[in-house]
Structure 1
Amino acid sequence: MFEKCEAIVIRATDYGETNKIVTFFTREWGKVAAMARGAKKPSSRLSAVTQLFTYGYYLIQRSRGVGVLQQGDIIDSMRATREDIFTAAYASYIVELTDKITEEHQRNPYLFELLLQTLQYMNEGRDLEILASIYETKMLSVMGIPPKLDYCAICGRTEGKFSFSIKEAGFLCHRCEQYDPHRIPLSAAAVRLLRLFYYMDLSRLGAISVKEETKKELRSVLSSYYDEYSGLSLKTKRFLMQIDELKKVSGSRKHQAESESGNG
């Protein structure tokens, strides 16, 4: 029996000459995989609806293994995401992270809404790095490795200047810094944003502007924390780091060219 679901395509793998095995994250059932017969053919009615990041309604015959996709109706193709290399890189990281930490057939409407909102914001052209940081921060509780962000991990104080300790899995106040010589120094802005990202309702995200120095602090904390506690090794994360380096080099060259032009 085919059942209707609301879903996002988070992975699509070629199978044979003309078919795809598509992994969906659904609102109703969590993660499910389905065979999309003929979807590799450009003329197939399943070709467009099985592209990565696509959000829509799908008719799927579920099974314990790989089900069968009958049809799909697109709500949002996320076309702008796929057409921009930077946006596609960040979105690919988000969906791979979701794929890696979820089990099949485990319903999680909160995570579905979080994934959908993040992808839609990315598709709209919002700050990709900040959106990725928010998603990473929120996923820590989903993975069962929440950091201590409300108080010092050693003494419990809630006031003062804080750094972040990977060893203690949370903030350290200035009185307890000696407990971790490898702590990561943080500005007051980075401390505030980590807490905000963890607790905020993403649907209420307004305009947000974060300095590059603060973004660097957030990257340092989140990357180190994931490396220590998640056990994940994601291809898209490595590619994202390469993309970021390329972006920095491109921006530096542009700035240099503008300076030379101005001096001329």
Structure 2
Amino acid sequence: MLYRVEGLVIRSTDYGEGNKIITLLTPTHGKQGVIVRGAKKLKSRYGSLAQLFTYGDFSYYKTGSLGTLNSGEIITSFQELRQGLEGPAYAAYAAELTDRAINDDEAAAYLFHQLKACQIALAEGKDPQIVVRAYEMKVSSAAGYAPLLDECVSCGRQEGPFRFSSTAGGALCSSCKYRDSSALELEETVWKLLRVFSALDLRRLGNIAVRDSSKRQLQLALRRWMDNHLSLNLKSRNFLDQWEKYGDLLGERIKRPEPAAEAETGDGPV
């Protein structure tokens, strides 16, 4: 059967001497594996379609588990995400996270648009740490592991202060914090960002200015959350952790909140 879909290339691997197998995230058919014959050859007609991060229109035949590309056209190459170190590092992490965390039948149109918005934001030069943290919340939600942030997961209390517990499922109030001695005491700015990211459509993400201490807390909270609930060993994250000096943070006790920082989204201050 012949299929025609829009798709984002979230994985591209060599197959045989001159071919590649790409994994597409599509808004209509979830994740799809497609063989692109001759993609590794210098004069390949469709070699550029097999590049990671490419957004294109793909036509392929499929009778078994894999399709075979029939024709295609690039809509957006996202070439910016293949230049330098920072852009490719964050974009590769978002792509691999999507591929590994989401089953084929869980990938839906909403996640496709969130990943595309993530790639657009990275290509536009928005703060990659903030963009990727927001996308991590989207993936966690799509995988069925969204944290509870507006009330205590144990008693339902809605008044803070709270601590963030990856094992308990989100916020723990002062009366229930004993349930997780490793729960994180986060700046109020970080709580606001977590709540904004949970509800935000990334297509509406504006420029956000966040101080480094808040970024580190946000990173640690989401790293712990994803390690506890998704438990993925991602090659791209190993590099990203070195890039963000996460190893130094692991042994660092989170400090008490400093004066609030300003952070803005497309929807206004948070």
Letter in 2 for 1:78: F
Structure 2 partner of 1:97: 97
Q: Which whole-Å CA distance do the structure 2 matches of 1:173 and 1:104 have between them? A: 37
Q: Conserved in 2, the CA contact under 8 Å of 1:152 and 1:170? A: yes
Report deviation, 1:178.
2.9
Q: Using the alignment, how far apart are the partners of 2:206 and 2:81 within structure 1?
A: 20
Cα deviation 1:133-192 (Å, max 9, x = unaligned): 001112112111221111112222222222111231111223333332211110110111
Counterpart check, 1:25 vs 2:25:
yes
Counterpart in the other structure of 2:223? 223
Listed one character per residue, the Cα deviations across residues 13-67 of structure 1 (whole Å, up to 9, x for unaligned) are 1111111111111122011111111000121111111110000101111233111
Q: Over residues 86-138 of structure 1, what are the superposed CA-to-partner deviations in whole Å (9 max), with x where a residue is unaligned?
A: 11011111111111123336551011111111111111111101111001112
Which of structure 1's runs of 4+ aligned residues deviate more than 6 A?
none
Amino acid across the alignment from 2:97: L
Contact persistence 2:23–2:32 (CA under 8 A): yes
Match of 1:184, SS?
coil
2:268 corresponds to? none
1:172-217 CA-to-partner distances (Å, cap 9, x unmatched) read: 2233333322111101101111111011121111221111101111
1:28–1:107 contact (8 Å) kept in structure 2: no
Contact kept, 8 Å, 1:157 with 1:173, in 2: the verdict is: yes
Q: 1:107–1:29: structure 2 CA closer, same or farther, 3 Å change rule?
A: farther
* Aligned match of 1:122: 122
In structure 1, stretches of 5+ residues that fail to align are: 249-264
Q: Helix, strand or coil: the match of 1:182?
A: coil
Return 5+ residue gaps in structure 2 as ranges: 249-270
Instruction: Write the distance in 1 (CA, Å) between the matches of 2:102 and 2:225.
Output: 19
Matched, 1:36 2:36: yes
Alpha-carbon distance in structure 1 between the residues aligned to 2:239 and 2:219: 15
Structure richer in helix, relative to its length: 1
8 A Cα contact 1:9 1:25, kept in partner: yes
**Structure 1 residues 91-100 or 228-237, which shifts more?**
228-237
Alpha carbons of 1:184 and 1:107: their partners in 2 closer, same or farther (altered >3 Å)? Answer: closer
CA distance in 2, matches of 1:23, 1:167: 32
Count, aligned residues? 247
* TM-score in terms of structure 1 length: 0.89
Structure 2 matches for 1:35-184, cutoff 5 A? 35-104=35-104, 108-184=108-184
AA aligned opposite 2:203 = S
1:202 and 2:193 matched: no
User: For the residues of structure 1 that align with 2:170 and 2:245, how far apart are their CA atoms?
Assistant: 28
CA positional deviation for 1:70: 1.5
SS at match of 1:185: coil
One-letter code of the match for 2:220?
S
Q: What RMSD in Å do the two structures reach over aligned CA positions?
A: 1.7
Percent of pairs identical after alignment? 39
1:260 corresponds to which residue? none
Structure 2 equivalent of residue 254 of structure 1: none
For the residues of structure 2 that align with 1:10 and 1:138, how far apart are their CA atoms?
16
1:243-258 counterparts in 2 under 5 A? 243-245=243-245
Counterpart mapping for 1:230-249 below 5 A: 230-245=230-245
